[in-house]
Structure 1
Amino acid sequence: MSLDKSSCALLRYLIRLKKPETIMAISRALQQSRRKIYYHLDKINSSLPKEVESIESQPRVGILLSPEQKAACQVLLDSLDSYSYIMNMNERIQLMMIYICITTERVTIEKLMELTEVSRNTVLNDLSEIRSQLAKEQYKMTLYVSKSQGYDLNCHPLNKIQYMHSLLYNLFAEANEGFLKVLETKVHAFPGCQQLLSMAVTHFLEGQVYRLEKDLGKKINRYEIEFMLKVLPYLLLSYRNMVLDQEEKDSIIKDFSLIRKRIEYKITQNLKQALEDSFAIGLDEIEVSLIAILLLSYRKDKDIHVTSQDFADLKRVVEQFIWHFEVHSSFELENKEELAQSLLAHCKALLFRKTYGILSKNPMVKQIQDKYSTLFRMTKLSARLLEEEWKISLTDEDIAYLTIHLGGALRRSGSRTENSRKVYLICDEGVAVQKLLVKQVQHHLPGKLVSGIFTTEQFKSVEDLLEVDFLISTSEALETKHPLIQVHPILDFDDVLKLTRFAKYRFLADDKRGFSAELDKLLAAYIPDGKTAQELKQRLQSLVTNELLASLSDAEVETDLY
């Protein structure tokens, strides 16, 4: 019996279990019937090696994998190839759109059937759904079919590139490993795509990052540059897929006129020459400009050019924003000159993103809205000044990034320094998030001295020289001999409990399920509707959090730094 998508979902769930769970609890968590769970469990057992004990649910106890079973299940999961993975409709649509956007061959129903491995009727239904989705998008694109070209998109060339960037952003942020393996396998077989998507070009571009940043005098956020390296070949192929006359090309070049005065454009010319010398890949003026736009649009952790005279007006607006925030809120800011510099670097990239429609999502926006509701609201109020001055519209994700910068500069009051011990933080999320993490830790561990904050790379270079009480890291992959607590960049309730417990008792209960997971399990037993249960969970956590903060320090509550 072969494992399908639902079987793999159960397999992943069982591997993650740290406490026994009943079939009923598992069926609720995976939103499948108990009969289906037993069915997929039989399929998993039949796929395991004979020497591994079958996975059985113990009466009144449930299922918990032994170390041997867990290891065998992980090997089984890792061995599944693209042919074992069944795509859902959304994944098929994403794959079809990437194919239509970048392939050089004529797109037909038969080729889409071969690509997605489904029937003709299913492909036709998917194409109908694509048309419906495109009609709701902001990119003004329509899907049409002709005898000469097959299925293609009718739209402005820049709209197509913006759509492709958005599609890939959502895909790489949300897709599971199974679908990403399918995508990689199939895309590399598309006609005309092999060279730009080859491992040789990928490794070459990775090697160019340090040189680009050195020449730019800027440090691009690590996650943003990793994403750029993933999507750049797709964006270039999306442009090369279009048939444009000279007049259309001239119009696009004119649209890119803003970036030709920037240093990113000059540096991209060097990259163009390097690609031509190493792989005989030639870039035209539009492709050079496209790469420069990406470099301009992505968030920077460091920018030595923020004090240049051509950004004097930008600096004036940023300083007005900081002033407005302080005047209209009860918060106090410190190190305002440093805050202005970091906000200026952030807003430079923000304006280029808004100008050229380059999507940059904030994965922490919901957490920030929940945990820093007052700070977020006040930031949003002051951000209206930016919108009016720059004639832009800021999303909640944009506001959340501004909130992070302001949160990292809040002044603390009534802090205690007794029994100080050395605590180091490790965070790869960027300078703004690092500053906010420091403020959170100082708030919840007022008796601890935060002696420094590093990226993983920086920490590894000085690890042997540090005298450490314990480490706090936002990275799951960090390995160290020192006591380590792994937390989220925006501390949740479980993180706070871990920090306070360890700081007081030198004990981290790794074997216990977190408060949030236990609450999920408890509510699921009484409230079958998942949405209602989640709403109640958020209210309960907010209530408990407020009580905890009140007991820790009444004076600190006003800072909203939970």
Structure 2
Amino acid sequence: MTSKELTILKFLSTQDSWVTSFSMSAFLDISVRTIKSYISNINSEFPNLIESSRNGYIVRDKKQLSNVISSAKKILYSPQTVIDRKKFILQKLLLETDRYDFDNLANELFISPVTLTNELQKLKKELADYELTIKTKDNLVFIDGQETTKKKLISKLIYEDSKDSFLSINLMQSYLPHFDLTIVKQIVSDKLSEHHYFMDDFSLLNLVLQIAITMERKLIRKTGKEVTGTDSWKSLVNAHIQEIVMDITEHIEKQFGMEFVDGEIYDFALLIMTRAISNSINDINMDQLSEFVGEDIIRLVSLIQTRTKETYNITIIRQDFTVRFALHIKNLLIRLKHNIVLRNPQVLDIKNSYPFIYDVSVFIANIITQEEGYVLTEDEISYIALHLGVLIEERKAIKHDVRAILVNPQYLNKSVDIANRLSSIFEDNLLITEIVSTQHELEAYSDYDLIITTIPFEVYPGKPYVQISAYLTNKDILSVSKKIEEVLKDRIKAKVKSKLEVMFKEELFFVDESFKDQNDAINVMADVLEKQGIVDSSFKEKLFERERVSSSAYMNIAMPHPLEMCARNSAIAVSIHPNAIMWNNNKVNIIFMLAINIRDSLFLKDIFDFITEVISEEKKLKTILDVKTYDDFIAALVSFAK
């Protein structure tokens, strides 16, 4: 099995539903033809492991898949590429020993001493970012630098290996084999619980990882004397967190027969302080919040709420959200101040699956940068997106009520009961405005979106409808839910369709333009928008400013736009590239450059939702990539909006 085939298997291991070859191609940067060839090879070796259909590919037997991946990893362990050799060298010098014989290292890599010298030279440039250097003395190779930065590099190695899935205890254990990490995790969880605190899964694993890395490094160095922080750490951490971290470290020390030094305990305390949440969080009210986070955080959160409302017309003010978000911002600033890296294995999934929510989070991240001076990573931005996601989806549902009429013969004497049950189940997005007995009575009404009926219709009623039983079974509830979703999607499509010829213009349309990269594309397309009088001369720099905060590429499209809606008039420039161009680390086939006037702020989310739906369907995406003219492009979009 090749490394690319293993990559496909690892990707499929994270998917619980069908995934198309086109989507896999965009995500894994492998051509569709090559993916199909690899899957054929895999199924030849492991018959029927990967199922295929018109919907794409799926692996249902996760246990068999896990065994195949484990076996393949062992076979492919011998480093074959420059990247593999780099990882091998770093693991050898950071997780196995502090110093290693140069000639033995070359032999284990199956390369000549000259080639190894060249590899170490390349590695030296990368290590410089961590203020580390790789040296050779007396024929021994070693990495020189601060212990704290070595630990950060180890953490990066492990997270990079988990980027196609989720960080797990098993993955951590494969890198850090000398201590049972399930025991470490259990100790941490139990002690947090005893002190009435909890951590989300990502934060908990991150803390366990940092503890485990420290333990492995102490084993390699054969000494715990190096201080990695401050002796007076207790003066910097509140008493309750002190109790928690001391309880955790004392139990781990007793379990594994080792001793943590003050600096190491302080590092763990910072992680707990910035990610652990008190079980009493739900008891905090707005009047008490400033006591927990301080007036500066209250002011910053208020500014974020105000500017988000002004720019996106989104309300993110609700007591439970504000409390949790303020605590998150406080911990975020502590992490940034102490240069604590918090990884989020879901960052790509969040960005690609919820581009609008992620975009709002980029906007918020920029506010934090302007106010506090810290630059947020995409991992931190995605954590903000997780906080926003539920609230924005709730607000969206409330804002887009589906108005329905219930048709149910009165002789069944259950109409009010059915209506009440439906209203209770779908309280956030269904409003039953009328109850009638027959289809004929519908003629008296026009202001509704959906018909829910317990009787069959002889003719199509002219509006979307769904038939249910009078007993409202689980199957009925699912049918109503699907029909509500269809109505909401059709509503978005109708809005988009009404704007198509206003927002898209022939003079802003490009096909297979020979852009070298994203900078070239931004320069050319922004110049055309300015020439048309749609934006002013500052628009281009604002695009680059947004890209510096976080790339606007989502899967195989890019949607560059400023952080704020500053266009004189709203328009969308489009560039189609059947042969993808590079956009930072992504390959992009379509560019939608959004120039949006504040008057159209409500339309921005509809644009994101519509574009995301189009690119997620392989057939629609291929249709767009095949267009040659502006008229063909508009015709394709109109067909999608029907």
Structure 2 length-normalised TM? 0.53
- Taking the aligned partners of 1:93 and 1:373, their CA distance within structure 2 comes to 34
- Once the two structures are TM-superposed, the CA of residue 291 in structure 1 deviates from its matched residue by 1.9
- Taking the aligned partners of 2:204 and 2:475, their CA distance within structure 1 comes to 30
- Taking the aligned partners of 1:363 and 1:500, their CA distance within structure 2 comes to 29
1:163 matched to which residue of 2?
153
- Taking the aligned partners of 2:364 and 2:9, their CA distance within structure 1 comes to 48
The alignment partner of 1:130 has SS state of helix
Asked if structure 2 preserves the Cα contact closer than 8 Å seen for 1:236 and 1:287, the reply is no
Q: Which runs of 5+ in 1 are unaligned?
A: 56-60, 189-193, 426-437, 449-466, 472-481, 485-495, 505-515, 520-525, 550-562
Match of 1:354 among 328, 336, 357: 336
Confirm or deny that 1:261 pairs with 2:224: no
**What letter corresponds to residue 212 of structure 1 in structure 2?**
K
- Taking the aligned partners of 1:13 and 1:409, their CA distance within structure 2 comes to 30
- Once the two structures are TM-superposed, the CA of residue 325 in structure 1 deviates from its matched residue by 2.4
Match of 2:204 among 209, 221, 225: 225
1:275 matched to which residue of 2?
252
Q: For 1:79-478, list aligned pairs within 5 A.
A: 79-80=71-72, 82-87=74-79, 88-104=81-97, 106-113=99-106, 116=109, 120-135=113-128, 137=129, 139-147=130-138, 150-174=140-164, 188=177, 194=178, 197=179, 199=180, 202-238=181-217, 249=227, 252-254=229-231, 256=233, 259-298=236-275, 300=277, 304=281, 307=289, 309=291, 311-326=293-308, 328-333=310-315, 335-362=317-344, 380-381=362-363, 383-384=365-366, 386-387=368-369, 389-410=371-392, 411=395, 412-416=398-402, 418=404, 421=422, 469=474
2:578 matched to which residue of 1?
527
Q: Which runs of 5+ in 2 are unaligned?
A: 405-418, 432-448, 452-471, 490-553, 558-576, 594-605, 615-642
- Taking the aligned partners of 1:388 and 1:260, their CA distance within structure 2 comes to 27
The alignment partner of 2:376 has SS state of coil
Asked if structure 2 preserves the Cα contact closer than 8 Å seen for 1:325 and 1:378, the reply is no
1:5 matched to which residue of 2?
3
* Residue-pair matches, total: 448
Asked if structure 1 preserves the Cα contact closer than 8 Å seen for 2:187 and 2:252, the reply is no
Q: Indicate how the Cα distance of structure 1 residues 236 and 244 shifts in structure 2: closer, same or farther if over 3 A, else same.
A: closer
1:461 matched to which residue of 2?
none
The alignment partner of 2:198 has SS state of strand
The alignment partner of 1:328 has SS state of helix
Asked if structure 2 preserves the Cα contact closer than 8 Å seen for 1:376 and 1:400, the reply is yes
**What letter corresponds to residue 75 of structure 2 in structure 1?**
Y
Deviations 1:356-394 (A, max 9, x none): 322224455566667776765665555555345544233
Asked if structure 2 preserves the Cα contact closer than 8 Å seen for 1:318 and 1:343, the reply is no
Asked if structure 1 preserves the Cα contact closer than 8 Å seen for 2:133 and 2:143, the reply is yes
Q: Indicate how the Cα distance of structure 1 residues 241 and 232 shifts in structure 2: closer, same or farther if over 3 A, else same.
A: same
Q: Indicate how the Cα distance of structure 1 residues 286 and 417 shifts in structure 2: closer, same or farther if over 3 A, else same.
A: farther
- Taking the aligned partners of 2:89 and 2:430, their CA distance within structure 1 comes to 49
Q: Indicate how the Cα distance of structure 1 residues 215 and 111 shifts in structure 2: closer, same or farther if over 3 A, else same.
A: farther
Deviations 1:526-553 (A, max 9, x none): 935475996335759968816989xxxx
- Taking the aligned partners of 2:201 and 2:473, their CA distance within structure 1 comes to 26
**What letter corresponds to residue 252 of structure 1 in structure 2?**
G
Bigger radius of gyration, 1 or 2?
2
Asked if structure 2 preserves the Cα contact closer than 8 Å seen for 1:264 and 1:295, the reply is yes
- Once the two structures are TM-superposed, the CA of residue 241 in structure 1 deviates from its matched residue by 5.0
- Taking the aligned partners of 2:58 and 2:218, their CA distance within structure 1 comes to 51
Q: Indicate how the Cα distance of structure 1 residues 113 and 231 shifts in structure 2: closer, same or farther if over 3 A, else same.
A: farther
Q: Indicate how the Cα distance of structure 1 residues 258 and 381 shifts in structure 2: closer, same or farther if over 3 A, else same.
A: farther
Asked if structure 1 preserves the Cα contact closer than 8 Å seen for 2:59 and 2:65, the reply is no
- Once the two structures are TM-superposed, the CA of residue 207 in structure 1 deviates from its matched residue by 1.7
- Taking the aligned partners of 1:186 and 1:363, their CA distance within structure 2 comes to 17
2:629 matched to which residue of 1?
none
- Taking the aligned partners of 2:221 and 2:377, their CA distance within structure 1 comes to 31
2:503 matched to which residue of 1?
none
- Once the two structures are TM-superposed, the CA of residue 77 in structure 1 deviates from its matched residue by 5.4
Deviations 1:426-450 (A, max 9, x none): xxxxxxxxxxxx99x999xx989xx
Report sequence identity in percent: 13
- Taking the aligned partners of 2:219 and 2:43, their CA distance within structure 1 comes to 45
The alignment partner of 1:536 has SS state of strand
Asked if structure 2 preserves the Cα contact closer than 8 Å seen for 1:302 and 1:345, the reply is no
Q: Indicate how the Cα distance of structure 1 residues 530 and 227 shifts in structure 2: closer, same or farther if over 3 A, else same.
A: same
Asked if structure 1 preserves the Cα contact closer than 8 Å seen for 2:11 and 2:165, the reply is no
Q: Indicate how the Cα distance of structure 1 residues 231 and 173 shifts in structure 2: closer, same or farther if over 3 A, else same.
A: farther
The alignment partner of 2:402 has SS state of coil
Q: Indicate how the Cα distance of structure 1 residues 470 and 270 shifts in structure 2: closer, same or farther if over 3 A, else same.
A: farther
The alignment partner of 1:152 has SS state of strand
**What letter corresponds to residue 87 of structure 2 in structure 1?**
Q
- Taking the aligned partners of 2:191 and 2:478, their CA distance within structure 1 comes to 36
Deviations 1:201-236 (A, max 9, x none): x22222223323224433211122124324431233
- Once the two structures are TM-superposed, the CA of residue 78 in structure 1 deviates from its matched residue by 5.4
**What letter corresponds to residue 209 of structure 1 in structure 2?**
V
- Taking the aligned partners of 1:32 and 1:332, their CA distance within structure 2 comes to 39
Asked if structure 1 preserves the Cα contact closer than 8 Å seen for 2:224 and 2:259, the reply is no
2:573 matched to which residue of 1?
none
- Taking the aligned partners of 1:206 and 1:168, their CA distance within structure 2 comes to 17
Deviations 1:336-367 (A, max 9, x none): 32222111221232123212322224455566
Match of 2:610 among 545, 555, 559: 545
The alignment partner of 1:99 has SS state of helix
**What letter corresponds to residue 387 of structure 2 in structure 1?**
H
- Taking the aligned partners of 2:276 and 2:70, their CA distance within structure 1 comes to 34
Higher RCO structure, 1 or 2 (CA under 8 Å, sep 6+)? 1
Q: Indicate how the Cα distance of structure 1 residues 389 and 262 shifts in structure 2: closer, same or farther if over 3 A, else same.
A: farther
Asked if structure 1 preserves the Cα contact closer than 8 Å seen for 2:218 and 2:224, the reply is no
The alignment partner of 2:399 has SS state of coil
Q: Indicate how the Cα distance of structure 1 residues 339 and 226 shifts in structure 2: closer, same or farther if over 3 A, else same.
A: same
- Taking the aligned partners of 2:60 and 2:270, their CA distance within structure 1 comes to 50
- Taking the aligned partners of 2:612 and 2:252, their CA distance within structure 1 comes to 59
Superposed CA RMSD: 5.8
The alignment partner of 2:259 has SS state of coil
Q: Indicate how the Cα distance of structure 1 residues 300 and 546 shifts in structure 2: closer, same or farther if over 3 A, else same.
A: same
- Taking the aligned partners of 2:360 and 2:43, their CA distance within structure 1 comes to 52
**What letter corresponds to residue 325 of structure 1 in structure 2?**
R
Q: Indicate how the Cα distance of structure 1 residues 502 and 377 shifts in structure 2: closer, same or farther if over 3 A, else same.
A: closer
1:491 matched to which residue of 2?
none
Asked if structure 2 preserves the Cα contact closer than 8 Å seen for 1:299 and 1:346, the reply is no
2:622 matched to which residue of 1?
none
The alignment partner of 2:268 has SS state of helix
**What letter corresponds to residue 119 of structure 2 in structure 1?**
D
The alignment partner of 1:151 has SS state of strand
Asked if structure 2 preserves the Cα contact closer than 8 Å seen for 1:169 and 1:359, the reply is no
- Taking the aligned partners of 2:240 and 2:488, their CA distance within structure 1 comes to 47
The alignment partner of 1:392 has SS state of coil
- Taking the aligned partners of 1:171 and 1:66, their CA distance within structure 2 comes to 22
**What letter corresponds to residue 189 of structure 2 in structure 1?**
Y
Asked if structure 1 preserves the Cα contact closer than 8 Å seen for 2:344 and 2:379, the reply is yes
